[in-house]
Chain A
Amino acid sequence: MQATAANHAWRKIKSALVSALAFVSAILVIAPLGLVFFYLVKSGASSVNWDFFTQLPKPVGVVGGGMANAIAGSFELLGLAAMIGVPIGVLGGVYLAEYGSTRTNSLLRFIADVLNGVPSITWGVVVYGLVVLRFKGFSAYAGGLALGFMMVPLIMRTTEEVLLLVPNGYREAALALGVSRWKTIVHIVMKTASKGIVTGILLALARVAGETAPLLFTAFGNRFWNHSLSEPIAALPLQIFSYAISPYEDWHRQAWAGALVLVIMIFFINVLVRFLTRDRMANPT
């Protein structure tokens, strides 16, 4: 009798111990976030100033300068990437949600998920072979294409998910009124799910905004303003990388500042997304 009581107590202690361990693990998992953010603010905040947003990089040895061209370049690259990733991703997602047999769709979904796992550096190599070698030069187009390819499976999957949330009654009501199928999809289904689709696009943009590896030998980077999209272009992540591995103290300082700005941009998009999706949760359609 006593043995069972002791055994019971021991089982309860063991349960509490494991709970404590799991709690410590959770703390350890989010610790890097706190540490990275702390050092970004500590080492970067003082260098984020007017010059940072308005000046070009200064030559080696000259203190000061900023990353104006890299910030603009990042936005240009994201714009180019969106022009490829958004139409292919959204329309592909429409097919997965509205057409196709269960069998083909689960296969396409599977391939999209596998494609999502392709290392980002691979996209750089592929676009190098596809564009840079063929047109004999690094260019903004090449960088945008690499990022755009990465966005396709991301957007396709999120678009499909939000379209499936639209109740079938909406489709049936429109079709019963004699509206053709494609107009039903475009004007009723996609319109109802538009917030969700935009959310997916924003998340994909936030994801590729921080990518460096696919840009290393496509967009290549540039220390000056880019005047033509068929020339090399600067990007914030590229600039952070080249400054971080440089031997100059002043460039390290600017790398931290660039990293802080990039992280704030990405977190801002994520907060915006949360705001949009909370609205969707509030009145489910």
Chain B
Amino acid sequence: MMITPAAPSLAGSIAAKMKPPSRFGDKAFEWLTLAMALAVVGLVFLVGWQLARGSSLAIQRFGFHFLTTSTWDPVAEQFGALPFIYGTVVSSLLALIIAVPLSIATAVYLTELAPVWIRQPLVSLIEMLAAIPSVILGLWGIFVMIPWLRDHPFPFLKKLFGWTPFFSGPIYGVSMLAGGIIIAIMILPIVTSVSREILRSVPNLQREAAYALGATRWEVTRIAVLSYAKKGLFGAVILGLGRALGETMAVTMVIGNTPQIAASLFAPGYTLASVIANEFTEATTDMYLQALFEIGLVLFGITILANLVAQLLLKTMTTKMTSRVAQ
């Protein structure tokens, strides 16, 4: 008699006395994962800070001349990075000239033209090419590609275009052109697969509309797909440029490692990444090491810039896609 009405109030008082469930685990886990996610921001700052700190004396001493002079003399402690900047830019541009048409044509083939059964195997093969380490491509470059280039295509190019400054002079094999070719092979897979993603995200309505007007396959690709995906494809190219600028091992093994600025593509060159790879452990004086850190800083700067531009282009492309789809 007394228990029945008392029971609810008893339960209520127990509930009131009970502590609310602890949120400590939840908070701790969220903060822990946040800290780990922020590691990417920390890493960017770590890289910038380390490179700037390691090169502060060289920056003070050489200033802007570091980027515009071409004497690289560790003994006299005179350091100018121009030949390396030139080598990096020229070899990367050569790589883009070779790789971009091939990559985009392959991406078009994979998304628009190829029979469906052949697409997946081809994509897997391209992924395998991407998995080959740079040093192994360099090994192949030294012992297979360089002798072949020296004996067959280079003399042929010289005979055809020897009257221009670009294909004149002695042929050693190791050269700016060989460096460009090996970088092209390195960036083919990434430019192809990013371009393919871009082309795949073009809405099918685009294609159907063009087909309905009586366009041929190529006309559909050109009018409806490529022009629509222009910006994204440009992003893919810049992403490839970013990779090309920082490519190290393979290019170090075939470019000849000579700090000079020569018009001929048959002449050996040197890149920012290669000079770090080759000379870092030999840097005997502080200023020499500082100069190499500054080279690293320059390389980091230009690759970050290329990647920022590429990601922004790719991002606007994907947001455009999703908003179109939403409509």
Contacts and interface: CB of A to CB of B under 8 A. Distances in A.
Contact of B303 (A119, A130, A185): A119
Contacts of B306: 117
Contacts of B310: 117
Contact of A98 (B33, B144, B242): B33
B53 A129 contact: yes
A91 B32 contact: yes
Nearest to A116: B307
A63 interface: no
B33 A119 contact: no
B105 A33 contact: no
A129 B131 contact: no
A91 to B, nearest CB: 4
B300 A240 contact: no
A177 to B, nearest CB: 13
A39 B139 CA distance: 10
Contacts of B113: 19, 22-23
Contact of B25 (A11, A182, A241): A182
Nearest to B109: A22
Contacts of B114: 23, 26
Given A30-B122, A267-B128, A259 B139 contact: yes
Given A19-B218, A119-B303, A213 B36 contact: no
A165 interface: no
Contacts of A25: 101-102, 105-106, 109
A43 B242 CA distance: 33
A185 B304 CA distance: 34
Contact of A152 (B39, B140, B239): B39
Nearest to A269: B131
Contacts of B47: 118, 122-123, 126
A89 to B, nearest CB: 8
Most buried by A among B23, B32, B131, B192: B131
Interface in B262-317: 273, 276-277, 280-281, 292-293, 296, 299-300, 303-304, 306-308, 310-311, 315
A117 B244 CA distance: 10
Contacts of B304: 114, 117-118
B160 interface: no
Interface stretch (A46-54, A65-73, A104-112, A166-174): A104-112
A88 interface: yes
Interface stretch (A75-83, A192-200, A204-212): A204-212
Given A206-B131, A212-B249, A270-B131, A11 B216 contact: yes
A259 B136 contact: yes
Most buried by A among B47, B129, B136: B136
Interface string A11-52: 110110011011101101110110110011001000000000
A21 to B, nearest CB: 6
B149 to A, nearest CB: 13
Contact of A29 (B192, B217, B239, B276): B192
In which size bucket is the chain B interface?
35 or more
A43 B139 CA distance: 11
Contacts of B102: 25, 28-29
Contact of B134 (A92, A186, A210): A210
Most buried by B among A123, A128, A237, A245: A128
Contact of B109 (A23, A94, A110, A213): A23
B132 interface: yes
B45 to A, nearest CB: 10
Most buried by B among A14, A113, A220: A113
A150 to B, nearest CB: 10
A120 interface: yes
Most buried by B among A180, A211, A212: A212
8 contacts: A18-B221, A22-B106, A118-B307, A122-B47, A183-B25, A213-B134, A241-B249, A263-B132
Interface of A: 11-12, 14-15, 18-19, 21-23, 25-26, 28-30, 32-33, 35-36, 39-40, 43, 87-89, 91-96, 98-100, 108, 110-126, 128-130, 149, 152-153, 156, 180-183, 185-186, 206-207, 209-213, 216-217, 220, 237, 240-241, 244-245, 252, 255-256, 259, 262-263, 266-267, 270, 274
Given A29-B188, A263-B132, 12 more contacts: A28-B102, A29-B129, A87-B36, A91-B37, A117-B304, A118-B47, A125-B293, A152-B40, A152-B43, A212-B249, A263-B133, A266-B133
